[in-house]
Structure 1
């Protein structure tokens, strides 16, 4: 995931951001929570690619599914 999300103390104080941008990962989830579409988010953050956003969502899904499986066993 190092090619998708990075945390560098020199970029937004170490806030996890999409690699090659200053767009925090949290922005994606906050905007989705506020009912913005993926297209609207990408329009508002042009340095964020659709591929990056989709990959982050897929990684989050994998993590949550794996966590749920650990809890139910």
Structure 2
């Protein structure tokens, strides 16, 4: 299944969400940010991920975490 820039396929990385067309897990981007790295460092280390894809995923996360409805449905 594809959700914008995110792909989930049991045949790729055991079904973990990845950047579409890559084997780079979405979790890796958040791990970099959590570890204090910036987006440029992530993109340098994972050249198969475009800046546009990374920004789109961050925007998806932003929308999920700033919508009361999404928070209620997913985290209440």
TM range (shorter): 0.7 to 0.9
Contiguous gaps of at least 5 residues in structure 1: none
Runs of 4+ in 1 over 3 A off after TM superposition: 67-71
> TM-score, structure 2 length as denominator?
0.84
Matched residue, 1:49: 50
**Aligned equivalent of 1:17:** 18
**Aligned-residue CA RMSD in angstroms?**
1.8
Q: Which runs of 5+ in 2 are unaligned?
A: none
Structure 2 residue matching 1:21: 3-state secondary structure: coil
TM-score (norm 1): 0.87
Deviation per residue, 1:11-68 (Å, 9 max, x gap): 0100100000000000000000011110100000010111011111111001101137
